[in-house]
Chain A
Amino acid sequence: MAKSPETEHPNKVFGWGARDKSGVLSPFHFSRRDNGENDVTVKILFCGVCHTDLHTIKNDWGYTYYPVVPGHEIVGIATKVGKNVTKFKEGDRVGVGVIAGSCQSCESCDQDLENYCPQMSFTYNAIASDGTKNYGGYSENIVVDQRFVLRFPENLPSDSGAPLLCAGITVYSPMKYYGMTEAGKHLGVAGLGGLGHVAVKIGKAFGLKVTVISSSSKKEEEAINHLGADSFLVTTDPQKMKAAIGTMDYIIDTISAVHALYPLLGLLKVNGKLIALGLPEKPLELPMFPLVLGRKMVGGSDVGGLKETQEMLDFCAKHNITADIELIKMDEINSAMERLAKSDVRYRFVIDVANSLSPP
């Protein structure tokens, strides 16, 4: 007889999960494996709410395995460490991000690029190497191989640091890889949400000139005065868009809905690069003339490897970069998801798991 989520593993765990594509989250009992030799068990303190969580619970991408427990911006305390674990000890403050497993032997893994390993498994909604399903951070605890656990720097707060584990690395990695770290260069950040607002902060820390690109002027004052952006460009203002043509060295495009690339490509200088990070469920239209006429590029990027994620956390700690968050209780998650769908959050919800998750 097939095992239920509660009996699949030896240790009962409580969390919140979605059962179908209505995406409604509710209390969910399941189980986790024993802490193995290489594992760290993390008592979860906080978990960020990523837009991917919303896409997944609604099955926007068509591959959600219900029931699903989302959450991959996890900060907590190590409560158990396996006998082979050298990097952590009980009581350490740790993070778990988007990836919970990889083959650990391919070219990508050897280069600390576990995120590009063909057998990489996500922290939630993925099948682990033992064939069981991974459940994420909207839960009491999680058991993860030490390779996929991050040390959380001392001066990084647990709650506002949590979103760095996905939003942070998602923008930091391509900024490093595509060379967006040359002080004085001009970065456009399209979309000012969870990813976008962190990209502005990291961009400023790299010494870049940063322009926020948005479809409305609502967030302009905050972008400039609070986040430190140098300027703000509204895409629905044709004159301002025209004046900005060919002025940006790079664009980080965080917009999660289907949108037109053509106007954004026009903003790039010759040899400019647009990195598309949003994951809409329908294809984007890519016009090729702007690419050919200016040797421009559209690239993708997928979180980062674990070594780079640690580097990013240390960088953010050094530059006092944290996310702007709205702390919520576990039972407020459904209304938070509704607001997230309307981009009504400044700029990341974070669930106060330890203080609000309690079995009924």
Chain B
Amino acid sequence: LGLVLYAGSLCMVSGATFLYYDYCVIGAGPAGLQAAYFLHQANRDYIVFERSHAPGSFFALYPRHRKLISINKRYTGKSNSEFNLRHDWNSLLSHDRRLLFRHYSRDFFPNADTMVRYLEDFASLLKLRVQYNTAIIHVTLEKNEQAWNGHYFLLTDQDRKNYKCSSLLVAAGTWVPNVVNFPGSEYVEGYETVSINPEDFTGQTVLILGRGNSAFETAENILGVTNFIHMVSRSRVRLSWATHYVGDLRAINNGLLDTYQLKSLDGLLEGDLEDLAIVKDKKGKLHITLRFYLENRNISAGIDSITLPQDELDNFATRAPYDRVIRCLGWKFDFSIYNRSLKMMPGKGNIKKYPQIKPSYESRGTRGLFVLGTASHSVDFRKSAGGFIHGFRYTTRAVHRLLENRHHDVPWPSTVYPITQLTNSIIKRVNEASGLYQMFSVLADIILLRENATAFEYLEEYPIGILAELEMQTGRKARNGLFVIIMEYGRNFSGADKDVFYYNRAVGEAQHAWQSNFLHPVIYYYKRLPTECEMRLHHPDWPLPRPDAIHHIVEDFLTDWTAPNAHVLPLRRFLENCLCTDLRNFFAESCFLFVFTHQKLPPSCQQGYVRMQGLVGSQELRHQAVQAGLLQDYTHTDFSDDRPPNSHDGSQEQLVRDHGIPVRLQHLVNAKDE
């Protein structure tokens, strides 16, 4: 009785003051709108809260110098829309072909204003339900056994209006600027407010704190008018073309590096900002010293009594005084609006700017709270593209699919194919799939084998971090083994110190495919689903636990993995050996022979010919097969020929000879950009 009363009173309270939605999305940036699109398509009860009057408020201000660093490649020479998304890093996913970024900008690196316009169109053309001018200032939980997750989320906006949601999708991004506190940090200007007019810097000496894209972008802007620019940060500069991480310093911003290495006055320094102190002298110049010296000084003494490093070390690097110090240290997630009961904790180490989430993007502290977009980047920080539009548009879709299964009994979409289509379905996906490509080593295609391996089920873009929970998360069964298809860079290829242009960096031969350096497809075979424990304990160098077999498709300069001998054939052999079957295709004539000479038939004949869908093949083709020694020609049969028939012993020699010519153009296999 008490329980009923308790529940009843809650209802009364909520009934009076709360607006209810199944799904609440915080933030109408790219991730929030992307989530809204999928919810809208699935006819779910949802609302998006946006504190600004329009979507994408972050992009209205940032980047300050307005140049986006996500590429907008309008031409790829291909019409495959899925493939083209691999080189379109700004579009969100939708069915509307008007909403492709290439229709919005001609620039390879578009202007941020275009992004704002695009997001506005995305929200309005797709009629997404966004409530603008609503800043959620507090989120708390209300226990309720009936609720999907055992509790409702109670949201309060700036006008004290309350909302109640069953599921909360946080797509608020990371927008709180990082600041460091050290003596003299009051003299530091922030990236968010610093002037972007180069003339304001004429003849000045500038110190920039930070070494990310915003820092370099700022430097780039004033490079031509300043005396010199120094940049200081704790870590070494990380160039994205060396690390293969789009969040590291992009070449488009690294003009300063160019001048630094070419005998200029500009330069980079490594040092811990926490150790720093800034002292302003009487002329208003800013001097760099160390907190260490400040702590020892006599408090009563004036500026002159402060020890500067150059007093002890007369060639101290930053001994010259600066006119301005600018802080470009990035942003962090706004943890402040979440009630303690939600246990929204920052991550540890270099992911402390992000909230702690599971590989399923669900908060570690609260069931039913999912983090989307940039704020979810802790899953693949400095690794894949999950913090960027071209990555999180796919992870958002994955989260939506998880939710559909969890709350609406809609299993993860899948297609069932006969086993003869196994090689094809993999080749198709690795050649065009954009989600696998952008979210390499994070999202994987999963092939679930049916009993006796006569058919399989294909699931796209599942987060590999929750592979062990696959059955529960997707509503699909993985009883008979599975393949996991992901894309990987070579293990020791990416990194801040790596020479990515070394000679012979590309692998050309299929048998050495495992040493491929550039992004290439890797297929893991498991006889059974890895357990939670195996997932937790696997080697950090491997994205997944030890498989029963593994296959690498050799890297390709054109990322076109359709070469019959170099790509498809080794893959087929791998699949055949995993499944212990023969996956070759046969002409109807061969199947006819097998029907009369074998009690069992190869899958291609079993699933094609016997079901009256045999491949008859044109005269020319059959002739070519005979020429290749892979098909016996019985038309001019010599009756005295006693050789037992064997469809491929005839002119194997011939075949070997024809192939023996090593037309290997390895020297043409060259470096390629991402």
Q: Do A and B come from one complex?
A: no
Chain B interface (Cβ within 8 Å of chain A)?
none
Chain A interface (Cβ within 8 Å of chain B)?
none
